[in-house]
Amino acid sequence: MWNLPQGIAFDNYVEAFSKLSPFLWNSFRMVIPAALISSMIGSINGYIFAKWKFPGSDIIYPFILFGMFIPYQSILIPLVRFMNAIGVTGLAGLAMAHIIYGIPITTLTFRNYYAGMPQELLEAGKLDGADMLGIYRLILLPISIPAFVVVLIWQFTSAWNDFLFAVVLTGNTDWPITVALNNMAGSQIIAWNVQMAGSLLAALPTLIVYIFLGRYFLRGMLAGSLKG
Footprint of another protein on 185-214 (CB under 8 A): 185-186, 192, 195-196, 198-199, 202-203, 206-207, 209-211, 214
Please provide the DSSP assignment of 125-153 as one string: HHHTT--HHHHIIIIIGGG-HHHHHHHHH
CB of 77 to another protein, least distance (A): 6
92 binds another protein (CB under 8 A): no
Using left for φ > 0, alpha for ψ between -120 and 50, and beta otherwise, residue 169 falls in alpha
Closest CA to 228 of 139, 122, 114: 114
Q: Which of 160, 169, 170, 174 binds another protein (CB under 8 A)?
A: 160
Window 108-147: contact mask with another protein (x via CB under 8 A): ------------------x----xxx--------------
The gap from C-alpha 182 to its chain's centroid, in whole angstroms, comes to 20
List, in order, residues 6 or more apart from 100 with CB less than 8 Å away.
none
CB of 58 to another protein, least distance (A): 8
Q: Which of 70, 124, 138, 143 binds another protein (CB under 8 A)?
A: 70
